Amino acid sequence: MLDDLDAATGGNFPVRIDACRPLRILPRVREDGTLDSVTILNLSIGDTDELKVRVRNPVSERAILQSVKRKSSPVAVERGASANERVVTIPNLTGWQIVTVFF
């Protein structure tokens, strides 16, 4: 299904998480098509484990993770499969925890 979304959008679907987890993903895309931030909510009572989040066309090469339980902290950003894709690793989210990654 994710591959079909990528095909339908020409690879411009803003956020992709390949792990099968019950998540609510809320990307914030600017008018120019760049990704400003992505909020991820764990919709289960269990942990998610570490998540690899692929983002397309981020505003910046740097990312900051913000959650209710943690102070804001820089997050490593790696190159992805395409020129405009970056990969951010999100630490384990406990049940109903929410985080936002700002670019």
Question: What domains can be seen in the chain, in order of their start residue?
Answer: 14-102 (2.60.40.1180)
- The answer to pTM > 0.85 is yes
pLDDT at 13: 80
User: Helix (H, G, I), strand (E, B), or coil: what is residue 15?
Assistant: strand
**How many angstroms separate the CA atoms of 50 and 24, rounded?**
16
The residue ranges of the chain whose pLDDT is under 70 are 1-3, 5-11
Residue-level pLDDT at 7: 62
Q: Radius of gyration over alpha carbons of the chain, in Å?
A: 13
Contacts of 9 (CB under 8 A, 6+ apart): none
Give the pLDDT score at 55.
96
Predicted pLDDT at 94? 95
Which tokens is 37 given? 């931030």
Degrees, nearest 5: CA angle 55-67-14: 15
- What 3-state class would DSSP assign to 3? helix
